[in-house]
Structure 1
Amino acid sequence: MMSAPAAVEAMLALPEPERLERLRELVVDEFRASLLLEPGEELPLERSFFDLGMTSLRLTELKQRLERRLDCAISANTLFNEPTVAHLVAYLAELVLPREEAPAAPAPVTAEPDGERALVDHLLRDLYQS
C-alpha cells in the first residue's frame, strides 16, 4: 500500500480541527496561482470559479495539480456543477481527511432473565444454607 502524499500526511499530523484549515489554504494557494493573484489578494470562497476569471483549461490544470498533491481523483462534475472554492474544499475533505470517530459507547450490560434467576437462586441458597 502506498503512503499518502506529503501534503496529506502533514494535514493528518495536525489536530483534527486544523486539518480542514490546512486543506483550505492548499486549495486557495492553488487557485491564487492559477488566477495569478497576489498572496494577500482576496479570493471569495463562495463565488464561482468562472466569475473569478477561471477558464476551463486552467481549471483542468488546477484539478490535475490537486489530484497529484492530494493523491485523489476529483470528479469533473463536482468542479462544474458547484464551482466554488468552498464546495471544492468540502468535497476534498471528504476524500482525503478521514474523520476521527468517537469511540463507540459500550453496549449496556443487561442480564438475561435466566442469568438473573440463576443469580437470585444462588444467593437465596447461600442465605438459607448459612
Structure 2
Amino acid sequence: MPAPDFVEPADTEQREDVEELVVRYVRSALLMDGDEDLDLTAGYFDLGLTSLRLNDIKQQLESALEVNIDATAMLNLATLNSLIEYLSLELSAS
C-alpha cells in the first residue's frame, strides 16, 4: 500500500497536451521562434518572464483549460515543469 502522501502521476497524454499549451503560451510571451529551445527546468524569471507576463499566461491557461489557478500556487511553482505537472494533476482531479 502506498504512503498516504503518494500522488498518482498525471495521465501521460494529458500531461503532453498541457505541456504543449504551456510551451505555446510561454514562447509567445517571450517572442521566441519555434526552433528556439525552451528549458522547462528553468525558473520563470530565469527565462525572462516578468510577473505581468506570468499573469497573462495564467489567464490564458485558465481560459483554455477551464480551471482556476491560484496566483500564489503559480508563483510557488518554480519551473515550467512543475507548472505543467500541477495543471495536469488539477485537470485529472476534476
Calculate the TM-score normalised by the size of structure 1.
0.60
Pick the aligned partner of 1:96 from 78, 91, 94: 91
- Aligned CA distance change for structure 1 residues 98 and 81 (closer, same or farther; 3 Å): closer
Aligned to 1:69: 64
Would you say the 8 A contact 1:50–1:83 is kept in 2?
no
Runs of 5+ consecutive residues of structure 2 not aligned to the other structure: 1-10
Would you say the 8 A contact 1:35–1:53 is kept in 2?
yes
Aligned to 1:78: 73
Q: Distance in 2 between matches of 1:81 and 1:93?
A: 16
The percentage of counterpart residues that share the same residue type is 40
Aligned to 1:53: 48
In our comparison, the structure showing a higher alpha carbon Rg is 1
Higher RCO (C-alpha 8 Å, min separation 6): 2
- The 3-state SS of whatever aligns with 1:21 is helix
Q: How many residues align?
A: 84
Calculate the TM-score normalised by the size of structure 2.
0.81
How far 1:97 moved relative to its partner?
A: 2.8
Q: Distance in 1 between matches of 2:41 and 2:80?
A: 6
Would you say the 8 A contact 1:79–1:88 is kept in 2?
yes
